[in-house]
Amino acid sequence: MVLWSYNTTPRSTTGESPFMLTYGYEAMIPVEVGDGSLRRDLFFEEDAEVNQRLHLDLLNEARINSQLKLVAYQQRIARYFNKKVKSVPYKVGELVLQKVMPNTKIAQYGVLGANWEAPYKVKAIL
């Protein structure tokens, strides 16, 4: 049920559900199948094939639109992130600390180990 819910819920990044981008139409949820719904009650089998072809013709356009929405979303996120980043200008000769990364951290000290390596002198700015 969780997988069904995930695949049929529209994503905020693309505006479409993964099911719609795969098959070209929105899925019916189990409640609509069991209890009935307006979509199910107004279903005409004669029109179904024509509507299916129409949806499949428009599927590539929907996929392209979702890609454009995704790119716009990524640009908004990048702008927001870049607004928060503060540039720190370094000068030659300054002392700086280097953060200890998890792969270089000495395991025997655990959480009480050093977070920074010894100070380094800036030799050149690249």
Q: For residues 98 and 121, what is the distance between their CA atoms, to the nearest angstrom?
A: 11
Q: Check whether residue 61 and residue 42 sit in a common domain.
A: yes
pLDDT tens column, 14-71 = 888 888 888 887 777 777 777 777 777 777 777 878 888 887 888 889 899 999 999 9
**pLDDT computed for residue 75 by the predictor:** 96
Burial class (CB in 10 A: 0-12, 13-18, 19+), 79: exposed
pTM over 0.75: no
Statement to judge: residues 33 and 70 lie in one domain: yes
Which tokens is 36 given? 């009935």
Residue span of the structural domain in which 8 resides: 2-84
Residues 57 and 94 in one domain: no
| Residues pairing with 95 in the sheet | 121
pLDDT digits (tens, 9 = 90+) for 69-104: 999 999 999 999 999 998 889 999 999 998 888 888
